[in-house]
Amino acid sequence: EPEVTQTPSHQVTQMGQEVILRCVPISNHLYFYWYRQILGQKVEFLVSFYNNEISEKSEIFDDQFSVERPDGSNFTLKIRSTKLEDSAMYFCASKREGARQPQHFGDGTRLSIL
Amino acid sequence: EDQVTQSPEALRLQEGESSSLNCSYTVSGLRGLFWYRQDPGKGPEFLFTLYSAGEEKEKERLKATLTKKESFLHITAPKPEDSATYLCAVQEQADKVIFGPGTSLSVIP
C-alpha cells in the first residue's frame, strides 16, 4: 500500500540554524499538509498546500516557516532561525482530490533543537 | 472557538472487555469527522471518516458512530494489539483539520 515517507526520522539542530524537513507524498495525491506534535500535546495543523500554493495556514505558521514543492515528488518544510520551542514531531500528510478524502500521514520527523 | 475533546484521557481494558471512546466537537459546520490510530513514535493511521449524523462505519473490532455533537468509537472484544492512542479529528473548513488530544488505550492480556 502506498505511503507518505518522511526524512530524516530524527534531526538534531543547533538553535538559530535553519532546517529542512522532507516528505514524499503518495504519488496520486494533490493536497499536502504539515502538522506538528509537541511531546505530550495534540497534533496541530500548520499549513495546507495545493496547486503549488499555500491554501491555508495556522497562526503557528509565521514568517519563520515556509513550504515548497521543488519537484513532482517532494514536499518540504523549512524552518529558519530555529528556537528551542520548535522541538516537536513534524508530520507530513497528503490526500487525493475530493472533499471527503482522508489525509494520510507519514511517520514524522523528530526535530530536536539544542 | 472550535474545539475537539476526547474522553477518557486513558483507558485500561482487559482483553475481551468491550468499551467506547468519546469525541465531542463544537464546530460551526462539520465537513467530516475522522478517527485515527497512533502508535508510539508513528504518524496517525487513518481508520474511519464520518460525514453525517447517524452514520456508522465498521472495521474488524472497531465501530464508529456520529451524532450532531459527538462521535463514539466502540471497541468490541479488544486484543492487546489494539493498544494505541486513538485520535479524533474534525474538518470544518476546506483543508484545516482539528485534532483532539486522544485517548490512550491499553488492552491487558
pLDDT at B50 over 80: yes
Map out the domains of chain B as residue ranges.
3-100
Contact B102 A42 (CB under 8 A): yes
User: A12-22 pLDDT, tens per residue?
Assistant: 999 999 999 99
Please name the residue that has the C-alpha cell 471527503: A100
Judged by CB atoms closer than 8 Å, whether chains meet at A42 and B99 is answered as yes
Contacting residues of A for B51, CB less than 8 Å apart: 100
Contact A6, A109 (CB under 8 A): yes
Contact A102 B49 (CB under 8 A): yes
Facing residue for A42 by CB, picked from B31, B94, B101:
B101
Cβ contact B93:A56 at 8 Å: yes
Which residues share a beta bridge with A13?
A113
In the predicted model, what is the mean pLDDT of residues A84-105?
Answer: 93
Q: Does B94 score more than 70 pLDDT?
A: no
Q: Identify from B2, B97, B98 which residue to disrupt to test chain A contact, counting A C-beta atoms within 10 A and taking the largest count.
A: B97
Domains annotated for chain A, with CATH where assigned, are 5-113 (2.60.40.10)
Does B92 have pLDDT greater than 90?
Answer: no
Could you tell me the CATH superfamily of domain B3-100? Answer: Immunoglobulins (2.60.40.10)
